[in-house]
Structure 1
Amino acid sequence: MKTVYEIMHGDRKVAWLDTQGHCKIYFKNFMPFSLYLEETENDIDILVNNVTNFYHWCASRILTLDRQYAKAILNSIGASQAFTDKERANIALTYKCLSLTDIYWVRNKGEKISFEKVNLYENHLANALVDVSLRGKQPSVHNEHLAKEEAAKDLATNGCYPKAWIRGTDHFQLYKDGGEDIVENEVLASKICQCFDCKQVKYSLGEYDGEAVSISDIMTTKEYSIVSREAFEIYAVNKEIDPMKYILRLDAYSFYMMNILDYLIGNVDRHWGNWGFLIDNKKNKLISLHPLMDFNLSFNAYDTIDGSNCQTVMPQRMTQKEAALVAVKKIGLNQVAEIEKSWFANREKDYDMLISRLAVLKEYNK
């Protein structure tokens, strides 16, 4: 028997789709940016594409299996170690494809349930998956029901290093592990970035289970979501939009500051999944690039002045230095505070390279 799913944006029913590929779109402007559906009665190719695209979108709302402890997390909720989009989608559908990145979710047709009852921002869940997410510890059998509920937030957090969302008194915080050096790199890079005028997530040093973690506040709310550059590419292709022209019209300043700061701190992990856009949920409109985040792979490719290849400008080929020089020419350096040498205890080489790179940009900024 076919199943009919309703794709929800908060309490707005955006579309429905059945497992044979038939669909009805009610609000095109509120469709997920990375989900493309077409209405048809009997075009086999379109029907197949609809189902494929839907499963791919659902699958993108759970973690990838290259993330540390991913298999342990899947085991903790009694799920298979899914390898196909359909298998991964079925896992996401068990918790209605909920995520802390946006307000989309999925329910079965006829299901009487509201966003108020299921959204992760207001409904308190025990932190049942924190141990397995950060340390790989399996929950007891008695806690398996909590783990399945908690999966909605931790499974939808991408990246390959251990991490977990922990609810504080009034908001979520992201705890990230990866080893003492990785945590130290992220916190130090965050301090450096705060010396420049740029919207950014701030990372501080914390502790979980006796080991160091970096801690940051969540940037999304019921009012504001984020969508990755990778997801936007799907939207841009289907709408015949030039992505880079669109980005520079929308928020050139944040784009250029991202390239400047990634060069200075030697961040080699600015792939299309960890930068993107901030969305006003009332209109489902892109309003700017979202705050700069994810610095734990900083101080890599840090032995030469040029740095690594710049990932944000692909498919164009450009080093991080070249991209940063273009950015400085466009918007200036925008340094607002001094970088303290005392932050670099026993890291003299890193400090020297940072100052050398900064000098290159200052010279070009004259």
Structure 2
Amino acid sequence: MILKKRKLIVYEIMHMEKAVASISLTGDARILDERFMPYDLYLEEDEDNDIDTRVNNLDNFYHWCASRVLSLDRKYAKEILNSIGVSQAVTDKDRANISLSYHCVSLTDVYWVKKQEEKITFAEINLYDNPLNEAIVEISLRGHQMTVTNHELAPDLSTKGCFPKAWIRNEQGFRLLKDGGEAVVERELLASEICQCFDVPQVRYRKYMYGNEIVSESDLITSKKYSMISKIAFEIYACNHELDTLEVCKKLDPITYYGMNILDYLTGNTDRHPENWGFLIDNDTNEYVSLYPLMDFNQCFLAYDDLEGANCQTVLPRKMTQREAAVEAVKHIGLRQIREMDMSRFRNMKKEAEMFSRRILELKSV
């Protein structure tokens, strides 16, 4: 009996139309253009056939691919996965296989993956130029199941967060719709109005009616020109280049970094974890040029019972309350207020209105 030798699968990590690295399923990696490697993917070339190096390469590759698919705690995740006919993914490898099924395309950057022999281009599959199936909105926002392809689901599978959300596109470009219930949506809209009273780069959230229900709407900040990478993903790059991420933030973009601490304090935002802020990348050079505009305010007014607020997540490993971090921020960049908040926008949220007034006075006194 003659056994037919199986062809070894080799994946190429692509940056637009450029192959920047390759990796086989034995963990043999080749770096083709180190300047354009993903910030959060570390691969090591192995000339000595070292098993540990190859295992690490595969683990890192699967983890990177898995990071480009949805979090399984996100509402309707099961419905989305059921709609493409896959099991509930548990391991990085399971999740990576889902991501690889649609070439790991994303709306956060211009990376993607293909098998070495595949004849396919970025122009053919990127999400910035190619049409989306509008039916995906029904799955992502409402959990309605239907049969769709993995590629059609790609933009929603690669959207982070635990609240229902979906990308839609019209003549003006992409817009993100976020649900979560009327109270959650109203909190995000109110927090966005507060933030717009300050000269700090930010995503603006607007009211949008989807069917008969209110959702928030915002614009896409990435493009074929600019990508984004989260702070937690940047930490991988920083670790391998002996950089202090917070020092990079303060030096590169003090307005956005310190402004984030001011606005999170004023709005009582409890959700500024390291996947909820990060860096804007110039795709022509693959260099980080600033922090990306502040976004995601649907967890605001939850730590709003006193002046101190919650523990500040953006100064770790230091321990500071949100008030302490905001006071420090004002000392560095000023308050940057450009207009007064229309207090009538708080409507029946009298307790929140009172706390906002106290917090803004606290910062004005710095």
Query: TM-score scaled by structure 2?
Result: 0.97
User: Secondary structure of the residue that 1:333 maps to in structure 2?
Assistant: coil
Q: Which residue does 2:340 correspond to in 1?
A: 338
**Match in the other structure for 1:12:** 18
Q: Which runs of 4 or more aligned residues in structure 1 lie more than 3 Å from their structure 2 counterparts after TM superposition?
A: none
Tell me the secondary structure at the aligned position of residue 273 of structure 1. coil
| Distance of 1:229 and 1:167 partners within structure 2 | 27
Distance of 1:229 and 1:128 partners within structure 2:
32
Deviation at 1:149, TM superposition (A): 2.3
Rounded Cα–Cα distance in structure 1 between residues aligned with 2:31 and 2:212: 50
Comparing 58-67 with 126-135, which one deviates more in the overlay?
A: 126-135
For 1:301-316, list aligned pairs within 5 A: 301-316=303-318
Shift in Å, 1:316: 1.1
What does residue 126 of structure 2 align with? 119
Higher mean Cα deviation, 239-248 or 156-165? 239-248
Q: Secondary structure at the match of 1:173?
A: strand
SS of the equivalent of 2:148 reads: helix
Residue ranges of structure 2 left out of the alignment (5+ in a row)? 1-5
Map 1:351-362; keep pairs closer than 5 Å. Answer: 351-362=353-364
Whole-Å separation in 2 of the counterparts to 1:278 and 1:292: 11
Paired residue for 2:323?
321
How many Å apart are 1:128 and its aligned residue? 2.4
Contact 1:280 1:286 in 2 (8 A): yes
From 198, 202, 205, give the equivalent of 1:203: 205
- In the alignment, the residues of structure 1 paired with residue 38 and residue 45 of structure 2 have an alpha-carbon distance, to the nearest angstrom, of 16
Displacement after TM superposition at 1:113 (Å): 1.1
Give the match's secondary structure for 1:144: coil
Alpha-carbon distance in structure 1 between the residues aligned to 2:308 and 2:133: 46
Q: Is the 8 A contact 1:161 1:176 kept in 2?
A: yes
Distance, in Å, in 2 between the alignment partners of 1:272 and 1:334 is 24
Alignment partner, residue 100 of structure 2: 93
- Sequence identity (%): 57
| Aligned counterparts of 2:234 and 2:95: Cα–Cα separation in 1 | 21
Show the 5 A alignment for 1:45-194.
Answer: 45-139=52-146, 143-145=147-149, 148-194=150-196
Contact 1:127 1:150 (8 Å CA) reproduced: no
Q: Which amino acid aligns with 1:227?
A: I
8 A Cα contact 2:15 2:110, kept in partner = yes
CA distance in 2, matches of 1:37, 1:254: 31
Distance 1:116 1:149 in 2: 14
- Aligned 8 A contact 1:58 1:93 in 2: yes
* Counterparts of 1:125 and 1:175, CA distance in 2: 15
Structure 1 residue 209: deviation in Å?
2.5
Return the letter of the residue paired with 2:336. Answer: N
Contact residue 128 and residue 150 of structure 1 kept, 8 A: no
- Return the offset for 1:144: 2.4
1:98 touches 1:104 (CA, 8 Å); kept in 2? Answer: yes
Question: Which residue does the alignment assign to 1:25?
Answer: 31
Amino acid at match of 1:221: S
Give RMSD over aligned pairs: 0.8
Please say if 1:348 is aligned against 2:355: no
Q: Deviations over 1:77-109 (max 9, x none)?
A: 111110100000000000000000000000000
Whole-angstrom CA distance in 1 between matches of 2:326 and 2:53: 43
Task: Say which of 282, 287, 290 aligns to 1:288.
Answer: 290
Q: Quick one: which of 34, 38, 55 aligns to 2:40?
A: 34
